Amino acid sequence: MATPASPTKINTQFSAQDADITIQSSDGVLFKLHRQNLGTNTGGFPGMEISTQEEIVHLPEPAKVLEIVFQFVYPKKHPKLKGLDFGTILEVSEAVEKYEVFAAMNICEIRLHEFPPDRAANVFVHAIKHEYPELINKTAVLFCRYPALDLIKGLGLPAHCIIPWLQYQAAWQEIFDNVTQYIERLKADTQCTFATLKKGNSIHNICGICRMSLLCHVARLSRIETLSSLNEALESPRLLVDKIDKYSWCDSCTSTTATCGVYAPIIRNTLQAAVAAIPPFTHFLKVNTAGRPK
């Protein structure tokens, strides 16, 4: 015997007797709506000029998403989307863009700016897809050190963004390469010294142990994947530099005065200034997509 089909439910908020279009969610809930409202307030639903032949229109979104979306197509106070879990906000935002529910786009963008750090990459892809530059840059900087392949394959980064993203990550890597070269150029000596001549020229000498310690410190900084963790490490460099593996400060470096201990804040300040000077991701995106047909 065949199993009877599960009875459909009618959403209580959208059950008008004079409805002229019925939409069914992916989980089987019916929404009875008015085509005039859909046609006037959206760009992705059939309006009065298109007949649905009284057929049910099936959509791939669940009822909890459609119930929120449809509240924006009627002349009443619209929801502020507070108190929703972030996954639902992201689903609603995608549906709003897909069906061009213009009245909901602004509040969705506002709520997306409140994203939790672990969803930054998802919001980034959404912002790229729908062209929200402020949101693109706000999220991109948070995971700019993530392995590029994970982002490209795991989240489906659009093809036109791949080269700009690689260039963006290269700009970040360059700041660590420059600091590494600075350390390597320091004059070698048996002990560390730091002095300033009367003319303002500085003489920097560093011993092999401290050079290796600083290089190891910068290498560790370059492997940090999040901006917040990098900033934290830059604010407390001595904690990372002291006794890194088998390396540590030499015996002469017991303070930050006239010894290579001076280099830790120099490295910190240099990296912080370089990080602040990196252009936002949209800069690389514009350079690479200039002249590309839309």
The one-digit pLDDT tens for each residue of the chain (294 residues) are 444 445 579 999 999 999 989 999 999 999 999 999 999 999 988 655 555 557 889 999 999 999 999 999 999 999 999 999 999 999 999 999 999 999 999 999 999 999 998 899 899 999 999 999 999 999 999 888 888 888 788 878 888 899 999 999 999 999 999 999 988 988 887 777 665 545 555 556 788 877 887 888 889 889 888 888 888 888 765 545 444 444 456 666 655 444 456 677 788 889 999 999 999 999 999 877 654 544
pLDDT of residue 13: 94
Residues 214, 202: Cα–Cα separation, whole Å: 19
**What per-residue confidence (pLDDT) applies to 211?**
83
What does the pLDDT read at residue 145?
Answer: 82
Give the three-state DSSP class for 10.
strand
Residue type, 248: S
pLDDT of residue 252: 61
The predicted pLDDT at position 250 comes to 65
pTM of the model: 0.79
- Asked if residues 119 and 146 have their Cβ atoms less than 8 Å apart, the reply is no
CB–CB of 118/155 below 8 Å?
A: no
* Residue 291: per-residue pLDDT: 43
The answer to whether residues 175 and 274 touch, using CB atoms and an 8 Å cutoff, is yes
Compute the C-alpha angle 134/157/101, nearest 5°. 55
DSSP 101: B
- Residue 205: the pLDDT is 77
Parallel, antiparallel or unpaired: strands 9-15 and 21-24: unpaired
Check residue 293 and give its pLDDT.
Answer: 41
What is the per-residue pLDDT for 294?
45
